[in-house]
Amino acid sequence: MLESKPPQAELKALLKGGLAAAAPVVAALVMVTSLSAVRLLEITGLGRMGVAAAGVVLACLGWFLWRGRWWAGLPALAAYVLALVYFALKVIRPLSAYFAVNPVEGLHDILSPLMLLSPQLVMVVICIGLGVVVWRAMRVARRLRPRPVSRLAWGLLLLWLLVLGGDYYYQAAGWRWMGDPADYVVRLCSPQSQVRQEARELLARAGVKALPALLAGLAARDVDLDCLRRGSLEMIVRLDAAALPELLAAARRGQTAALTALAALGRPQAARPLLDLYRNPPPEMHPAFREKLRQTILKLDPTLRLD
């Protein structure tokens, strides 16, 4: 006896719910492409691979909901509820502060602050709308017989769940034993003092091998990463004279962070090699770098003539 297919209206509801359940993939994509490793770790507790894996898992779960597995909508539903609370607070708190000092005398007094908060209000409406669609699809899926899912699909979901779990373990604890200085540098901005201290100890053990990662941390441009710049410079200064050869090589490659580090070290013996670079600059040397080079030389040895 042939199994009857679900009615078109219910299939349509499942499809809409599957798309809505997969929609948070956009948030994962935006975070992976726009946030630094430090901000990612601070917000999600994951690295780029972990956030990407979370996005793929959500996409898989959206497809599973479309195939009639009601439980596949639970993560998206939880995400929408949390986002709804977050954006609602972003509206309520400023409004309460505004109305505390601005008495309401007419409709204009109510609409004025709402215009300023329109992006947050839009996000509230989006979260409610998508959450309702997912909830309806879950109710439909509970009534219907689930449609078949191939072993390949189950295997892909399991694989990405393992990637997600593995990245979470690595970011939470595994970084201590993997020996990657770049991960140690990221932890210099950890809110936990114990983690910051562990990162410093591991960087000190790595010695000069950690210098490329420390220079990358020192060169961080994000205004919120001052902790990374300060921590990286502190560790470079701890390396002292052992860092000079690598720093000079980095300066010859045009790394401005290397000049900042050399100036902080204050070793006069670095002035002569920098003077040679200043007098014989490569054609591609940027004027701003050359000016920084001049200032560094004069700081290290004010007696030198640059002409």
How do the domains of the chain map onto residue ranges?
A: 8-175, 179-300
Please, what is the end-to-end C-alpha distance for the chain in angstroms?
95
User: Which amino acid would we find at residue 273?
Assistant: P
136: tokens are: 């309806």
φ and ψ of 122, to 5 deg: -60, -45
Q: What's residue 105's pLDDT?
A: 64
All residues at 6 or more sequence positions from 161 whose CB lies less than 8 Å from its CB, including other chains: 53, 57
Q: pLDDT by residue (tens digit) across 36-65?
A: 888 899 889 999 999 999 999 999 999 999
Handedness of CA 219, 223, 225, 229 (dihedral sign): positive
pTM, rounded to two decimals = 0.79
CA dihedral 163, 165, 166, 172 (to 10 degrees): 140
Confidence of residue 2 (pLDDT cuts 50, 70, 90): very low
What's the rounded Cα separation, in Å, for the pair 130 and 266? 58
24: tokens are: 């948070």
CA atoms within 13 A of residue 225's CA, in its CB half-sphere: 23
Q: What's residue 222's pLDDT?
A: 82
**CA angle at 66 for the pair 62 and 67, rounded to the nearest 5°:** 115
| Average pLDDT for 282-305 | 90
User: Which amino acid would we find at residue 50?
Assistant: G
Name the 3-class secondary structure at 264. Answer: helix
What's the rounded Cα separation, in Å, for the pair 113 and 220? 36
Q: pLDDT by residue (tens digit) across 171-222?
A: 999 999 887 899 999 999 988 899 999 999 999 999 999 999 999 999 988 8
Q: pLDDT by residue (tens digit) across 6-28?
A: 788 899 999 999 999 999 999 99
